[in-house]
A and B are shown apart, each in its own frame.
Chain A
Amino acid sequence: MPVEVHHYDLGVLQLTILGSALLAAALLAALYAAGAAVYGGRTGDRRFVQSSRRAVYSMAALLTGAVVILEVAFLRDDFGFELVADHSSTTTPTFYKLTAMWSSQEGSLLLWAWVLSLASTAVLFISRNRHREIVPWATAVLAGIGSFFIGLMIFKAQPFSHLDPAPAEGAGLTPLLRNPYMAVHPPMLYSGYVFWSIPFAFCVGALIARRLDASWIRTTRNFALCAWTFLGIGLLLGSRWSYEELGWGGYWGWDPVENAALMPWLLGTAFLHSVMVQEKRGMLKVWNVSLICGTFALCLLGTFLVRSGVLQSIHAFGASTVGGPLLALIAVVAIGSTVLIVSRLDGLRPERRIDSVLSRESIFLVNNLLLVGLVLVIFWGTFFPLISEFFTGEKHSLAAPWFNRYVTPIGVLLVLFTGLGPLFAWGRLSGTAAKRLLLWPAVATIATIDVLLAASDAGGRPWALFVFGFAAFALVALAGEFWRAGTTRRALTGESHAVALGKGIARNRRRYGGYVVHAGIAFVLIGIAASSSFQTNRDLRLQVGQSAKVGDYTIRYDKLTSDPTAERLAFVSHLTVTRDGKRVTNLTPARNYYPSDDPSAGPIGRYFMGESTSEVGLRTRTGGDLWTAFQPDLSVLNPDIVRGNRQLAGLPPAAQEFAILALVQHYVQNPPPANFRVILNPLVVWIWIPGGLLVLAGAAMAGWPALESRRQLEAAYRARLGRELGTASEPS
C-alpha cells in the first residue's frame, strides 16, 4: 500500500532545521548575554553590558522567528513537524490550531522562553540608562533563565522534531482543550510566571550590587503588577474552564497544579503590598527580597509540577524528562537567594520602626503573615503525598475538605483586611479617626449578618456568614474612601462632586486602582462563599418525558438528539426548566465522543471508547446559575458495537461511518434513561463578573503610566530637540 506523502515534505524538513538552528542561536545569544553581563558588571566595562543587552534583544528576535515557524506550520497543517502531527489535524478549527502550540510540553517551553525574552527586552530597554550597578546582574539572571529553558528544549523537549514520512492527518487537539478559556489560559499563566522573573532578577542584581534602596522596586513595579494580573487572569480562566468543561460543576478542586499557580499569586500579592511599605517608610526590606525570591521559586515549582508527573493532575502534561532539570533550577534559585539575602542582612535593616499598631504598615505586616501562612498551608497540602511517601512509604493525598478546613479561616481574615488596609494611614491613624472611619463599615458588617440570619439559613454556615459580613465591611470602607476622595478635593477646589472625585482619583491612580482591586476581591470571595456553602446538588436519572424537582425548579427531559461532525459524535439532551409552572429556560447539555486511535477498539467501537467531554447546559443570572450536565447510558449499544466491529471491519471508511450514524440514530429514537447532574450555584458568576473584571480594571488603573511621567517624557524630548538643534525650545 503506497505511503501517503505530504506535498510540503522537503519544505518542512528545511523549516524544522531552520527552527532548530534558531533555537541553537538563541541559546548561544543567551549564554553570551549572561557571560558578557557578568564580565561587564565585575569590570565596569559598559561596552560588555551594552553588548549583553543586545544579545538579549537578539534572543527575543530569534525566538520570535522560531515561534512564527511553528505557528505557520500549525496553520498549514505541516504534519512533517512532529508537534503539529501530535496536537493538530486538518479538521481542527483555525483558532485552536493557533493555540495548539502550547498544549504540548515542547511548545509550552517555547512559549515560556519567548515571553521571557520579550519581557527581558522590555525591561532592559526601559532601564538602559539607569541602575548601572544592578542591570548587569539582572541581565545575567534573565539570560541565565532564558538559556536554561532554551537548553531544555534543545536537549530534552525539541519542538522542531521532524517526521519522515509525514502522516497525511494529525492526531488533533486533546478534546478537553477545545475550549476558548483553556486556549488562552496557558499564555496568561506563563506570562504571569515569566513577568515575576523581572523583579526577581532586579532583586538579585540589587543584592549583589548592594543597592538595597527601593530603586529596583520602582523600576520593576509595573512588571510585578503585570505578573500578578496575568497570573490572576490565568487562574480565573482556568476556574471558568473547570466549571464549564470538566462536568463536575466545580471551579476549584485544590488540584496540585491549580495550587501551584495559586501559591505564587498569593505570595506575589503579599509582595505587591509589602513593597509599598519599603517605598514609603523604608521598612520590611528583608520581607520584600524574601517574598520576591519565594514568588519566583514558586513559579518554577508550578512549571515543574505540570511537567514532572510527581503529582497526579488533570492539568499536567504527565511524566517527562524535564522534571529533574527544573528541580535543579528551583534548588539553585532557592539556595542561591537564601545565601544572598543572609549575606546582605546588614544592608537590609529598616530605616524606621513601626510607630503604631494603628498604621497601614502594621496592617501590611499582618497581611504578609496571613498570606505566607496561607501559602504554607496550601504547600503542605499539595505536597503531602510526597511527604507521606518519604516518611511512610505510602502516598496519602489530602482532598478538598482538608484544604477548606484550614484555608477558610485565613481567607475569612483576609477579607476583613481587604477593607482595613485602605482605611489606615501611613505612620499612625489617630484613635478618634479610627473610631470614625471604622463605624460605618462595622455597622454594615453587623447589619449584613443580622439580615442573613433572619432571612436565610446562613446561621448554619458561620464561615460563609463571616465572609459576607467582612465583605460588606470592605465594600463600605472602600466606598467611603472614594467618597472622601471627592469631598476633600471639593472642599479645596469648589469643583462639583463628580469632577472632584474624578480628578482626585486621577491624581492617585495607584491608590484608587488598588481599592478597585480590593472591591473585586471582595466580590470574588462573596461568589466563592455563596456558591460553595449554599449550593444545591442533585444527581438524577430521567427517562424522556420525565421530570424532577431541584430546589424551586422543575427539570423535564424532553428529547434526545445527535449532532455528529467530522471530528466527533455528540448526544444532545433537551431540557425544559420551569418554576411555579412558568417556563424559565431551555437547556441542552451534551456529551461529545471523540474517536480513539486504538485499533483494538474496532472500527465502530473506537467512536465510543475514545475521550469524551461534557458540554454543560448553563443558565447564568446575577443571583445564581442553573448548571446541568448529561451522561447518556451507552451500555445498551454494546451488543451492536461488538457485532459491527466484526461485520464491518473490512469495509471502506464511508460504509463504516454510515453504520455508525445509523446506530446513533437508532439510539436517539429509543434512548434509555440518562443520568443528569443539576446544580444550583448562588452568586457564582460574581467570581468572574464583577469580581474578576474589577480586579483587572483596578490593576490596569494602578499600573497605567501617570500623567506626570507622560508630561515629563514630552518635556524631555523637547529639551533634547532644543539641544540637538542648538536652540532653546519654547514651553507649550
Chain B
Amino acid sequence: MEVLLAVVIVVLVAWFVTAPLRDRPSAKPEDRSEAELADLEARKQAKYRQIRDAEADHTAGKLSDEDFRRLDSELRAEAIEILKGIDRLRQRRGN
C-alpha cells in the first residue's frame, strides 16, 4: 500500500515538474521585456531612495551645498537614464 502511494506521489511530481517541457519551444525569440522592466523598476526605486537619502543628509547639514549639488545631479542623471530605459522598454512592449 505504501509502495503504491509512493509510486503515485512520484508520478504526480513527475507530471507537475515536466509540465513546462510538454509545451513546444516557442518559435519567437523570448520576450525578456517583463523581466527587464522589473529589474529597471527595482533600480529606479533604489535610485529614488538614494536621492531622498541625499536630500535628508543635506537638510540635516551633513552634506555641504556644493557636495549635495554634485551628488544630487549625479543621482538624478542616473535616475533619468533608468526612466529612459523604462520608457524604451514600454514602447517596445506597446504599453
Contacts and interface: CB of A to CB of B under 8 A. Distances in A.
A47 interface: yes
Contact of A129 (B38, B60, B67, B71): B38
B54 A218 contact: no
Contacts of A57: 16
Contacts of A279: 46
Contacts of B9: 21-22, 25, 62, 65
A279 B20 CA distance: 35
B80 interface: no
B38 A491 contact: no
A709 B62 contact: no
Interface of A is mostly: helix
A58 B60 CA distance: 51
B18 A44 contact: no
B52 A508 contact: yes
Contact of A51 (B3, B10, B20): B20
Contacts of A58: 13, 16-17
A218 B35 contact: no
B54 A21 contact: no
Interface in A328-342: none
B17 A51 contact: yes
Contacts of B34: 129
Interface string A414-437: 000000000111111110110011
Interface string A505-542: 00110110000000000000000000000000000000
A66 to B, nearest CB: 11
Interface in B1-48: 1-3, 5-6, 9-10, 13, 16-21, 23, 25, 30, 32, 34-35, 38-39, 41-43, 45-46
Contacts of B53: 280, 426, 508, 511
Contact of A29 (B17, B25, B38, B46): B17
A344 interface: no
B67 A427 contact: yes
Contacts of B70: 427
Nearest to B55: A488
Interface in A702-721: 706, 708-709, 712
A215 B39 contact: yes
A646 interface: no
A429 B62 contact: yes
B65 to A, nearest CB: 9
Contacts of B43: 215, 218
Contacts of B23: 47
Contacts of A429: 62-63
A32 B62 CA distance: 54
A490 to B, nearest CB: 11
Nearest to B23: A47
Interface stretch (A10-18, A114-122, A145-153, A661-669): A10-18
A433 B35 CA distance: 43
A130 B38 contact: yes
Contacts of A491: 59
Contacts of B41: 712
B6 A215 contact: no
A131 interface: yes
A50 B12 CA distance: 17
Nearest to B71: A427
A619 interface: no
B39 A433 contact: no
Given A214-B46, A428-B67, A51 B18 contact: yes
Nearest to B53: A426
B57 interface: yes
Contacts of A511: 53
Contacts of B49: 508, 510
B73 interface: no
Given A17-B6, A62-B13, 15 more contacts: A14-B2, A15-B2, A21-B10, A44-B30, A45-B25, A47-B23, A51-B19, A55-B17, A214-B46, A425-B63, A427-B54, A433-B62, A488-B56, A488-B60, A511-B53
10 contacts: A17-B6, A47-B25, A131-B35, A218-B42, A425-B57, A425-B62, A426-B57, A430-B63, A433-B61, A706-B45
